[in-house]
A and B are shown apart, each in its own frame.
Chain A
Amino acid sequence: MISVAEATSRTKGRIKSRDVLCALAGAAALALAAWAASTVAVPIENDLGLVAVLPYPFWAGVVLLNVAFVAALRGDAAGPASRPVMIWLLAVLVLMLFGTAIFVTGVPRGEVAFRHLGIADALASTQDINPHIDAYFNWPGFFALLATLHRATGLDPVTVALWAPVVDMGLWLTALGVLTRHLTTNPRRRWLVLWIFCLGNWQDQDYLSPQAFGLFLYLVVVALVLGPLGAHVPQFRGFKRVELAAWWRGRTPAEAQPGRRLSALVVTLLLVVVISASHQLTPFMVLIAITALTLCGRVWPSRLPLIAGVVLALWLAYPASAYLDGHPPLADAGLQAATQANIVDRVNGTPGHLLVVQVRILLTLVLWVLALAGAVWDWRKKRLDIRVVLLAVTPLLLFPTQSYGGEMLIRVSLFALPFIAMQASSVLLPAHVGTRPSFLAAGALALCCCLLAVMTVTGRFGNARYDVFTDNEVAAVQSVQRLAPEGSAVISAAHPTPWRNQGYLDHRYRTIDDLCKSGLSAATCGPLVYDYARHNPAGGVVLLTRSSEESLVLQGDISEQGFDEFEQWLRSQDSVQLVFSNRDARAYRLAPFAVAP
């Protein structure tokens, strides 16, 4: 039988006043935060994002919730507060941190969720997968799932995208909750890991996306590998060949019944296939994690990495071959290129935006330093769990392999986060399972949690100036998608545009900053955009929205004056007609050049 850690025994069936108080405090915190967030006006007019415009009752709610959590975690001599109370507090935290934007606006944040809705819609409309369209159609698993669920349930796709962060966090926490049962017997530590996982989750990857789905399945695979597929190892004697062989042969399965191990193996393989079909990066994370765990003797089926590698290779060689033909995976490999794309290129923009970027870096560093301190602490106490260390560190191996559009470091830090949280929790709680944190330690923990929460809200919603869309912008995009003739080029100023959720295959979608790599000034960029649109046989529509302008200005790509000059230049050209205008957007139709007979 696998040894699953059980919670410290508690007095069953008796409701404790401390538990009730903590639950009520959670409810009050949620009410405060939701009300405060609902008073925020859109658009957000501050370079720091939501953190600068959320009124103080929101922060009072944050403090109240973290204090309630620490009180519940401290509990009494029998252990932390009851499970329903801890789950309730976690649910409130998820709603507060990941649902904040839902209280502010009814429009999903960011462009990508809209695009993903469009891909699912395109799949459902064509009922076919054409891998030559773009990369998404080479890893269509998640979009096939989305298309089926949308068409079958009849739910409004935009509403689904709006609530996706909350749902995804719920799924991640559920998987992580099961996973941590195989890593610690301390119930306080398990709850704290989940809490820190939320507080450190600034990466903003929980929107409706294949990577969010992939992370959920990744955590389940790790839970299976640490649980029913795990192995106990004898004491390590040395690196000599004989000693290594004896150590390897001395391993025993964590799950005694072969039938159960086989079941877990079948499920793991199914998940590896689904992950390989759904996302580019996650299967590599899975492969690295299970390979590392296998090499340190902690996985019983030692051929699992080989099988996972074959599945991944087959997917790349066949269904994804169309994309890989023109995009070799290691084309931009190298530490220098990765550092340039992931760090140097991101540290620019207005002073407010720079501060947000610095807070994100600081938050990540704080958690990694806490984890390092926890690892040293555990090592000195001779209780360091090599599995946690490996799972926290191995995602870093992917950092130099590809820049991943400048997002590799974000993905790496996200995949490491559950185990960084696990290791960090070592220094934040007393070493012994049954020991309650002292009042002083609990106070310090509450303070630490509050600071992490402020940093997470800052980092997570730091782009709110341009990734929180107004109703006017959504209306403009819908009009453009309707007005633009089929096959025409639809050109937005920059990527934060809530487009492509309909008619994904009907137009050629481009952005001005993609077309004008050498600069966005009217003199150099204007003619490029103008010619691109007019040379397109169906012409083009240039869409200038408030959020796309804010994005370019905030990140230092162009000034407000430069943007106005660009628009003035465009308006003054032949065959350019204003076809849509509201407070937050303008759309210009560019007729195609006459085609020679």
Chain B
Amino acid sequence: MNRGSVSKLTLALGLAAVVLSVATLIGLPTPVQALATAAVLVLLPGQALARLLHVADRALGALLVPVLGLATLTAVSTAMFYLTMWSWKACIVAMSVITILACLERARQEEA
């Protein structure tokens, strides 16, 4: 990666979050919907957040992708239930926003 430029992976993660969240909110055929939703709710936010941590151990970094995705989704879903504003669509929007914010922060780091 060149100093001062945003990496392709950061861009791809942010774009994928936007595209897949819109697609899952509109609705897709069942197996595709399951895969796309798993990506939007767990894998993309997990990957975006894990990239902010700069973990030295690659195995630990890979493990943190599903861990951060699941833990963040649990925290977001639980908070929404307590605030009586839960819906699965709201969760998708919230997790997409988290992914995009993480990507923006990563982009800021890459540009610095």
Contact = CB atoms under 8 A, between A and B. Distances in A.
- Dominant secondary structure at the B interface: helix
Interface string A253-290: 00101011001100100110110011000000000000
B57 A277 contact: no
Contacts of B63: 174-175, 178, 220, 223
A201 B80 CA distance: 35
Given A152-B91, A263-B53, A274-B75, A127 B84 contact: yes
A228 to B, nearest CB: 7
A140 B81 CA distance: 9
A273 B75 contact: yes
Contact of B74 (A1, A123, A142, A260): A142
Given A145-B77, A153-B37, A227-B60, A263 B55 contact: yes
A260 B53 contact: yes
B52 A263 contact: yes
A147 B53 contact: no
A270 B73 contact: no
A257 B57 CA distance: 13
Given A145-B70, A148-B73, A217-B67, A255 B56 contact: yes
A205 to B, nearest CB: 18
Report the contact-size class of chain B (Cβ under 8 Å from the partner).
35 or more
Interface string B31-70: 0011001100100000000001111110110011011101
Contact of A129 (B33, B56, B82): B82
Contact of A223 (B24, B41, B60, B80): B60
Nearest to A278: B74
Interface string A1-35: 11010000000000000000000000000000000
B58 to A, nearest CB: 9
A498 to B, nearest CB: 24
A260 B73 contact: no
Interface in A98-125: 123-124
Nearest to B50: A267
A255 B64 CA distance: 17
Given A148-B88, A228-B55, A154 B34 contact: yes
Contacts of A152: 24, 37, 41, 88, 91-92
Contact of A260 (B41, B55, B64): B55
A181 B72 contact: no
Nearest to B87: A127
Interface string B77-95: 1101110101110011000
Given A153-B38, A228-B55, A123 B81 contact: yes
B33 A153 contact: yes
A141 interface: yes
Nearest to B84: A128
Contacts of B70: 145, 213
Contact of A148 (B41, B57, B68, B71): B41
Interface in A452-483: none
Interface in A178-236: 178, 181, 213, 216-217, 220, 223-224, 227-228
B73 A145 contact: yes
A503 B72 CA distance: 28
Interface in A124-142: 124, 127-129, 140-142
- Dominant secondary structure at the A interface: helix
B30 interface: yes
Contacts of A128: 81, 84
Contacts of B77: 141, 144-145, 147-148
Nearest to A319: B82
A155 interface: yes
A38 to B, nearest CB: 24
Contact of B78 (A4, A140, A217): A140
Given A129-B82, A145-B73, A181 B57 contact: yes
A149 B63 CA distance: 20
A270 B50 CA distance: 13
A255 B88 CA distance: 39
A224 B63 CA distance: 11
B75 A148 contact: no
A151 B53 CA distance: 31
A181 B59 CA distance: 9
A171 interface: yes
Interface of A: 1-2, 4, 123-124, 127-129, 140-142, 144-145, 147-149, 151-155, 171, 174-175, 177-178, 181, 213, 216-217, 220, 223-224, 227-228, 255, 257, 259-260, 263-264, 267, 270-271, 273-274, 277-278, 319
Given A152-B24, A223-B60, A228-B60, 13 more contacts: A4-B57, A127-B86, A141-B74, A144-B81, A145-B78, A147-B86, A151-B88, A153-B34, A177-B59, A227-B57, A260-B55, A270-B72, A273-B75
24 contacts: A127-B87, A144-B74, A144-B77, A144-B80, A144-B81, A148-B73, A148-B88, A149-B38, A152-B24, A152-B88, A153-B38, A154-B34, A220-B63, A220-B64, A257-B56, A263-B53, A263-B54, A267-B67, A267-B68, A270-B72, A271-B67, A274-B75, A277-B78, A278-B74
Interface of B: 24, 30, 33-34, 37-38, 41, 52-57, 59-60, 63-64, 66-68, 70-75, 77-78, 80-82, 84, 86-88, 91-92
